[in-house]
A and B are shown apart, each in its own frame.
Chain A
């Protein structure tokens, strides 16, 4: 006796498969195989772009914390750099170094979250995540002692940063940077040779380099496919041109490669931190800017390499105190452009791991 296969619709969510953020997938399954996938987003939509058009440039900095809440520092930096270019504001050297230090700390914290939750998605429930959170916790402590907040930092300012770190910050940072290489080896030892992890991630969710470029993928999702594209190298901002670091890339473009790219980036960020600590000069941490900042009419597209890739701010000024148009190029959203290509034909558990390897932050998708 044979039974006909009838496709059925499976609803996942609204929740992230590992419950950070609210994200819904509607999957059409044919037995074990995905035939179609549709994502339903917007549960966290706060109409940030519309709100921003009614507020001054400085007032918009706290919003960026809440867009990608796992990379608040990078988001602050992206907006500040864009406004500085639009308004022609100079930044003191010490502030640029502090920005690099906090952006790289944020990258380590964000990659710890990304890789930790991805390993959870792959079935290693919470143990590696908590190892990685141990270092993330120390980074959040560093944020807290500098600006008082752990997640929504609101630290960067147009023209610099809001506070110079307190004296106790530097020894704590040095301690973290010194112990980081051994910690990274420890993360590797948890997963690298684990047969189950390799089986779940290798040759799963493969994206070719050509598809990744054409699909506007950025960050580790693009570099995992073997494209050595990093804005810190391509268009160095702050003082990245003085830093010696490498851009790790993958070979196959699968989940495992994206995971390893993030892991290597943590190592490279540690190197950048060591150099920044050695080089940072004394001096002011902020330029005083006119309180009534009215950039001349014009437009700017400022971008930084956030933990999830190219984070862009497209600002149009009409000479009033608020931006005429404020658009965020959200890497989490645009990295999902190839979701269908990745998921259709795969099995459901593979699709969940592939989604986890893209490192989406729902606040960044919905804004």
Chain B
């Protein structure tokens, strides 16, 4: 149950949001609602102003690189009703990603969108001051993109296995996952769950 205690069911949000703004919801899960990227401002504004959801504060705005597209994730919350709503917008164009800014709805998006632009390279239309935030103008690339390091040969960034873990022993490794540190043989090598013996 990774959803927060006070996080609203995506289906409930989608039903009301879809009724108010027909066609704006593109996909829904238990945890979040995906909205039409071009209409993300309308969806956020409706959630902010609706009495039922009262999503007065943009708690967090971030993005995820899914290789073929980007996800921009909005965590909204109501301080009066004490609940959270999670909204996502999928940016399909991986080469020239762009999305309307949430700044006209939430001033708290100002720096968060600059950070997403800086590190993930998604442009926000209507943002009043879209410049890089942490890196400098002219920095080559956007580091949080998965292809930033340019690893070739079918390799992806990330950590596919534990340090010192022998890839051929992956199956054996998975069976050892239930071991705890007390049961682990000390010679396994540091604190890693090496399957090499």
Contact = CB atoms under 8 A, between A and B. Distances in A.
Given A322-B159, A334-B112, A337-B111, A216 B4 contact: no
Contacts of A336: 111
Contacts of A234: 6, 79, 82
Contacts of B179: 290-291
Interface residues on A, range: 35 or more
A321 B64 contact: no
A336 B174 CA distance: 45
Nearest to B136: A42
Nearest to B195: A292
B59 to A, nearest CB: 7
B8 interface: no
Contacts of A290: 177-180, 193
A291 B144 contact: no
A301 interface: yes
Contacts of B157: 53-54
Nearest to A211: B107
Contacts of B162: 56, 291-292, 321
Q: Give the one of A213, A289, A320, A324 with max B CB within 10 A.
A: A213
Interface in A29-53: 41-42, 45, 47, 49-50, 53
A288 B180 contact: yes
Interface string A323-358: 011010100011011100100000000000000000
A189 interface: no
A214 B56 contact: yes
Contact of A53 (B1, B111, B158, B178): B158
B158 A301 contact: no
A314 B135 contact: no
B79 A216 contact: no
Contacts of A24: none
A366 interface: yes
B143 interface: yes
Contact of A288 (B79, B158, B182): B182
B26 interface: no
A310 B135 CA distance: 24
Contact of A235 (B4, B161, B191): B4
Contacts of A215: 106-108
Contacts of A367: 134
A55 B163 CA distance: 9
Nearest to A286: B181
A54 to B, nearest CB: 5
Interface string B43-64: 0000000000000111110101
B60 A301 contact: yes
B110 interface: yes
B115 interface: yes
A216 B106 contact: yes
Nearest to B148: A50
B75 interface: yes
Contacts of B178: 290
Interface of A: 41-42, 45, 47, 49-50, 53-56, 58, 85-86, 88, 211, 213-217, 227, 229, 234-235, 288-292, 294, 298-303, 310, 312, 314, 316, 318, 320-322, 324-325, 327, 329, 333-334, 336-338, 341, 366-367
Given A216-B112, A299-B31, 6 more contacts: A45-B135, A214-B57, A288-B182, A322-B158, A329-B60, A334-B108
7 contacts: A45-B134, A216-B59, A290-B193, A292-B176, A320-B158, A329-B59, A367-B134
